[in-house]
Every structure is written in structure tokens, then in C-alpha cells.
Amino acid sequence: MSLLRPWRLFAAARGCSVRGLGPGPAPSSWDFRAGPPPRPRPFHAGPWLWSSASSKDALVKLRRRTGYSFVNCKKALEACGGDLKQAESWLHKQAQKEGWSRAAKLHGRKTKEGLIGLLQDGNATVLVEVNCETDFVSRNLKFQQLVQQVALGTLLHCQNLKDQLSTYSKGFLNSSELSELPAGPEKEGCLKDQLALAIGKLGENMTLKRAAWVKVPAGFYVGSYVHGAMHSPSLHNLELGKYGALVVCETSERKASLEDLGRRLGQHVVGMAPLSVGSLDDEPGGEAETKMLSQPYLLDPSITLGQYVQPQGVSVVDFVRFECGEGEEAAETE
């Protein structure tokens, strides 16, 4: 008797193949007189093996680069045969599809919360407003990065305008104009694409509400203030808050005290909400006064803002004020 016969009988009883480790046919279907059972099909691990150290390194790198979950990164690498660059592109495309889909579902939901972003670079300064549904999301880093991206896109738009400045220039962008701005040198598509990605990640409706920009030549200065300001973690000169103001001043000389003066003027604009600049010749007004220079000075109500500014050697010529969620109540009433 063959020495293999006892082993074959044992293997048949266990439902195993003699030659392989995979499952074999049931014992009743074996005919040992016809020879050994068929060789089992080899085990396949899929298009991309995860046991190698290099594949694990690729997974970690993709996760760090994109911020997406390990599960999604693994799917991307499997779909792209382990190619890191293709996997990153695949992830962004999938996230964009999901973001647009979720944005369509959430469209129309009220966005009363959000942040004002203020960014200054050289002679250009911008204010932007991005809204969301809850204050909880406005404190999320991903939402703040969206505000940062919108501020950068607006700043680049402002800087790319080819104008010969003899005096200051000011401009505004509404929601649709803002959405069509390029996302910047390091991002693909427009700001509306970045908005869709953020909606897909955070699961709330969001809107790019508006933006304002100011450019000044020599002889002018832009004071700025953000109420409750917090600085962006990745862009040190971006300030975020619920209120923001820019104040354009004309000055004959650059003074060290201009930054502090500009901040105080911005505080006044945020707190007193003037509707126009007015003139130093205007009569002092009370608390209901809407002309900026005739209003009681916020930090010293015993004098007007005009009386505070005049000895400083500057002239206030214009301002911009943003309040987060401004106009939403009026829109609901209408």
C-alpha cells in the first residue's frame, strides 16, 4: 500500500487538498483511483499587495498629503495600482464629486454663522465673509482654511488688477463673482470648487457671501480691525472674527503710530456702524448720528471722532465694515 494513502484518506475526511492548502472537493466526489485531486487555484491578494513596507509607506504619505481617511487612501492606492500621484488625483476627484452632491442636497439651508477674514499684503488689503450654518463649524480648522483660501483668492485678484494708482481704489465682489475667482497657485479650479470640498467634508451648507478690497499708493494708509480676532494657524497675517473694518486714511508722512491709530479707527467703525465719513465741519451728533466724523468717539464719547483724528495729522477718506450674517434677518423677513 502506498505510504500516501493514509494521508489522502485523512485529507479527504477533512475536505482538504493533498497538494495545496486551499479547500478541495468533498470526500464523496473524490475518485482516488483516478489519481490525486486537482491542484487548487492559487490565492490572489488583489491588484495591490499590502504586505510590503513600501505600500504601507505610500499609504502613510498619501494620508499626510491629503488628510483623507486611511480607508479612502487605501481605496485610492488600490484603484491606481499603488501610484501615489495618481491616487492623490483620484482622491481629489472623488471628494469633489461627493462635495458637489452634498452641496446640492444642502442648498437653501440658512447660513447665519461664519467668519470675517482680513488679509493685508503690501499696499492691498481685503475683507471676506464666508458663512455656514452653525458656530460649531465656524470654529473648525477646515472651515477656517476655506476662509483663508477665499481671502488669498481675493488678494490675488486685487493685486492682478493693472491700475495706475494716483489715489486709493476700492472694490467689492458679490457671491457669484467671488465663487468664480481662481483658487490660487497651489489649488485647482475656482473658489466654488473649494467651497464644495468643504461642504462635503463638514456636512453643512456654506456660502461665499462677499469680499471687499482696497489698494493704496504712497501717501495713504489702511487701518484695520477684526473684533474677537484669532490668527490663522497656517497664515500668520490672516485675522478671523465676527466683525471687520478697513479705514482708508490720507497722510503726509508715514508715522510709527499709524498702526495703532488705524486700529482705533477700525474699532470705532465696528462699534458705531457709521454710514458715511462726513466732514470735520459737520455739527457733532448724538448716538444716532450716522456720519463717522460727527459721531461720539467710541473710546472717549466726550469728543467726536473728528476731534480725535484732527490732531493726528491724518484725514479719514473712506471705510468698509463687515458684520458676519449681516442682512440675513432682513432677507428672511422679505
Which neighbouring-strand residues pair with 121?
124
Residues 129-143: what's their mean pLDDT?
93
Cell numbers 499684503 label which residue? 121
Give me 9's grid cell.
484518506
- Please check the confidence at residue 50 and state whether its pLDDT lies above 70: no
Residues 27-46: what's their mean pLDDT?
50
CB atoms within 10 A of CB 164: 6
Parallel/antiparallel/unpaired status of strands 113-121 and 238-241:
antiparallel
Cell numbers 505610500 label which residue? 58
Positive or negative, the CA dihedral 316, 318, 321, 327 is: positive
Long-range contacts of 65-70 (CB under 8 A, 24+ apart): 66/91, 66/92, 68/95
Residues 180-186: what's their mean pLDDT?
82
* Per-residue pLDDT tens over the stretch 94-114: 666 665 556 566 667 788 999
- Please check the confidence at residue 227 and state whether its pLDDT lies above 90: yes
pLDDT in the model for residue 82: 78
Cβ neighbors of 251 (< 8 A, separation 6 or more) are 219, 220, 221, 258, 313, 314, 315
- Please check the confidence at residue 39 and state whether its pLDDT lies above 80: no
- Please check the confidence at residue 47 and state whether its pLDDT lies above 70: no
Confidence of residue 7 (pLDDT cuts 50, 70, 90): very low
**With contact defined as beta carbons under 8 Å apart, do 249 and 223 qualify?**
yes
Alpha carbon distance 292, 297 (integer Å): 9
- Please check the confidence at residue 295 and state whether its pLDDT lies above 90: yes
H or E stretch at 164: none
Nearest to 274 by CA among 292, 249, 293: 292
Of the listed ranges 30-39, 243-252, 307-316, the least confidently predicted one is 30-39
Q: Give the chain's mean pLDDT.
A: 80
**With contact defined as beta carbons under 8 Å apart, do 66 and 88 qualify?**
yes
Confidence of residue 322 (pLDDT cuts 50, 70, 90): very high
Confidence of residue 252 (pLDDT cuts 50, 70, 90): confident
326 vs 23, higher pLDDT = 326
DSSP string of 295-330?
A: SEETTEEEEEHHHHHGGGTEEEEEEEEEETTTTHHH
pLDDT in the model for residue 9: 44
Q: What type of residue sits at position 162?
A: K
Torsion of CA 77, 79, 83, 86, to 10 degrees: -110
pLDDT in the model for residue 330: 41
315 vs 68, higher pLDDT = 315
pTM given for the model: 0.71
Alpha carbon distance 334, 321 (integer Å): 23
Confidence of residue 250 (pLDDT cuts 50, 70, 90): very high
Nearest to 247 by CA among 260, 236, 234, 238: 260
H or E stretch at 214: strand 206-215
Alpha carbon distance 133, 53 (integer Å): 43
- Please check the confidence at residue 21 and state whether its pLDDT lies above 50: no
Which neighbouring-strand residues pair with 102?
none
- Please check the confidence at residue 20 and state whether its pLDDT lies above 80: no
Alpha carbon distance 220, 234 (integer Å): 29
